Amino acid sequence: MDIKITLPDGSNRRVPQYTTIAEIAESISISLRKQAVAGKLNGRLVDLQAELAQDGALEIVTLDSADGLAVYRHSAAHVLAQALKRIYGEAKVKLGIGPVIQDGFYYDIDMEHSLTPEDLQAIEAEMSAIVRENLPIVRRIVSRSEALAFFNWREESLKVELINELPKDAVITMYEQGEFSDLCRGPHLPSTGKLKAFKLLSVAGAYWRGNAENRMLQRIYGTAFVKPAELEEHLRMLEEAKQRDHRKLGKELELFMFSEEAPGMPFYLPKGMLIRTELENFARRLQRERDYEEVRTPQMMNNRLWEQSGHYDHYKDNMYFTMVDDVKYSLKPMNCPGHILVYKNSLHSYRELPIRIAEFGQVHRHEFSGALSGMMRVRTFCQDDAHLFVLPEQIGEEIGKVIEMIDHIYKVFGFEYQVELSTRPDDFMGDVELWNEAESSLQKVLEARGIPYRLNAGDGAFYGPKIDFHILDALKRSWQCGTIQLDFQMPEKFEMNYIGEDGQKHRPVMIHRAVYGAIDRFMGILIEHFAGAFPLWLAPVQVKLLPVSANYTDDALQVKETLKQAGIRVDVDVRNEKLGLKIRDGELEKVPYLLVIGEQERQSSSVSVRKRGAGDLGRIDVAALIQQIFAEVKAGQELAED
């Protein structure tokens, strides 16, 4: 019996039932068969040896695709596990999971020996030996009892746990390569010899299944690429990322610190606070121009508010609670309910809408200590939140204005970005019809503006769908920052009203909006994006004065006062050190302007100027330099204020 296969170009082929994907690839072309590593049958990745039993849509997956690279890296994870078993012994290495992640893979293992960087080199060498053996990778379907017997015999308790949690009707598969077998859904490469370029990167602790109550395992991170040149470029980028790491630069540039007395809670040092203040003031200016009203709401509120909003049900495991006069209170994990109370503080007419309420609101969310990561993952952070309360017919226009503002701000920092539309999650709150209406509204705004977007099904907030903005930094890494969320649910739950043209009460629509997202995280991204060399308007120290010797310190202090009075952020290096060292240190501090003052400068009432990125500009009159700095700052601010 023949079946019909529909290919990506829309063409159809009739093939005998139970033809394998590999055979179909070969029937299309010999070169395609050589490049193929898997198939995508009705949207699901399957092995090349999978047999087609009925009509369906088929895509041949090759190594030059994202899906092909994922298969490639998944097989690299299995080769890693096999190498570990060979080196340390079958009985001494117990396997957890080994998934593909962004830019690579990892494998969680349970073993007594603590792995070192030197161990990783030996493991890599054994992986290379397995690749040279070119072992066929074979998929095998097994029964539940067979799988349990196999892994119980090997005392692989973590695998047994996974099997026991599979649905009763699950198809259980194992993959074998040489002496090695693993529980896995697949798919995988046809053989280990297909692997060409891989690298083990690091080892870290990880709780089994991310639960701090479970045992601590060792997680080995690695990456793999089809071409050695791609691997080399990736490793170069990783090294560049290390040099740009905001934790490293934040310490070197004295921007922020952390303390054991407040884990996951950043302390802003004076220079870091200057940057944060500039970021906030930049956003404030734009918001004032767009008729936002800034408010400040309490850090701690009665827990019944969070129960009413639904946040308690969804965030209680990440909230901080306390008792006040026998009443349960919580530190706010979000700003929305506070803004709703501000809205409800007075009656509103339809003529007042849209009402735009903004706040730089500090929120608190408990994260496991192992998840904390500098400014990128903290337990308290400031969100540049705004909530717009609008008439239904104002939705499109208001969301459009928010998109324009987000686009404007990101361009100031040189960020490209990608847009994602996230729809109703499984744990959604409210009526499906309202959700459909909200999703349709967001989709229409994006399409009307011709904005390309990716659909992220099921990842909306529990109260509404959202548009997320993923910025790309200097290393082309993606960070989700801005968001626009359309909410029909909260106005219902809090019985929010406005008086319509008909004199009756109506529900407003609520739009949640953030541009930076968490300002702390955005700062971390900026530090890495600029490698600490902030644009002049954002730099915490814009000018540093370098007296040639102690004889010229007073001259430098006089120039400092002149610059300070002009509103320029300035510092003086008064150390009794050689000029060359002062220049070097100023460059390491990434100060935009270094001004040298010696005898010639004293006589001519000028300064010798070294500009970051431009080198020596020669002697310049102080008044002229002030105008030059003003012009450069204004250029950045004009871009900001347009």
Active site residues: 336, 365, 383, 385, 387, 466, 512
Give the number of other CB atoms < 10 A from CB of residue 350. 14
DSSP labels, 168-229: TTPPEEEEEETTEEEE------SBGGG--EEEEEEEEEEEGGG-TTSPEEEEEEEEEESSHH
Torsion angle of alpha carbons 383, 389, 390, 392, nearest 10°?
100
Cα–Cα dist 605/613, whole Å: 25
- How many Cβ atoms are within 10 Å of 46's Cβ, its own excluded? 20
* Alpha-carbon torsion (245, 250, 252, 257), positive or negative: negative
- What type of residue sits at position 169? D
Secondary structure in 3-state letters for 417-464: EEEEEECCCCCCCCCHHHHHHHHHHHHHHHHHCCCCCEEECCCCECCE
Place of tokens 């973590």: 158
Q: How far is CA 185 from CA 139, 179, 182, 193, 291, in A?
A: 9, 19, 10, 21, 54
Please count the other Cβ atoms lying within 10 Å of the Cβ belonging to residue 82.
21
Spatial separation of the C-alpha atoms in residues 327 and 137, rounded to whole Å: 61
Question: Are the CB atoms for 607 and 559 separated by under 8 Å?
Answer: yes
178: left (phi over 0), alpha (psi -120 to 50) or beta: left
Placement of tokens 């117990």 in the chain: 94
CB atoms within 10 A of CB 402: 22
Q: What is the dihedral of CA 147, 152, 153, 157, to 10 degrees?
A: 120
Other beta carbons within 10 angstroms of residue 561's beta carbon come to 11
Element (H, E) at 478: strand 478-487
- CA atoms of 84 and 107, how far apart (whole Å): 10
| DSSP letter (8 states) at residue 488 | S
**CA gap 153, 160 in Å, rounded:** 10
Tokens read off for 85: 């078993």
Instruction: DSSP letter for 485, please.
Output: E
